[in-house]
Structure 1
Amino acid sequence: MNERLIAVGFEGSANKIGVGIVTLDGTILSNPRHTYITPPGQGFLPRETAHHHLHHLLPLLRSALDAAGLCPDDVDCLCYTKGPGMGAPLQVSALAVRVLSQLWRKPIVAVNHCVAHIEMGRVVTGAQDPVVLYVSGGNTQVIAYSEGRYRIFGETIDIAVGNCLDRFARVLTLSNDPSPGYNIEQLAKKGEKFIDLPYVVKGMDVSFSGILSYIEATAVEKLKNNECTPADLCYSLQETVFAMLVEITERAMAHCDKKDVLIVGGVGCNERLQDMMRTMCSERGGRLFATDDRYCVDNGAMIAYTGLLAFAHGVTTPLEESTFTQRFRTDEVQAIWREKNTPKTDNVHGESEQIPEKLDS
Structure 2
Amino acid sequence: MTQNEIPATQMVVDPRFMPVADLFFRMFFSPGQGGGALACYLDGECVLDIWAGWAARDRRWNRDTVALSFSTGKGVASTVVHRLADRGLVKYDSPVAEYWPEFAAAGKDTITVRELMSHRAGLHKARGLVPGRFGLLDSEAVAVALAAAPPDPRRTTGPGYHAVTYGNLVAEIAARASGTSFEELVRTEIAGPLGVDEFWYRVPQDQRHRIARVFPKVNFLPAPWATAGAVLARTPGLRGLAEAGMAEGFDELMRSPRAHDSVMPGWNGVFTARALARMYAAIAGGGMIDDVRLLEKDTVAQLLEVQTRRRDYVLGIRANWRLGYHPAWIALRQQPLRSVGHYGFGGSGAFADPDTGLSVAFVTNRMGNAFTTLSDGRFPRLGAAAVTAARRAA
- TM-score, length basis structure 2: 0.24
- TM-score, length basis structure 1: 0.26
Which structure has more strand as a fraction of its residues?
1
Higher relative contact order (CA 8 A, sep 6+): 1
Which structure has more helix as a fraction of its residues?
1
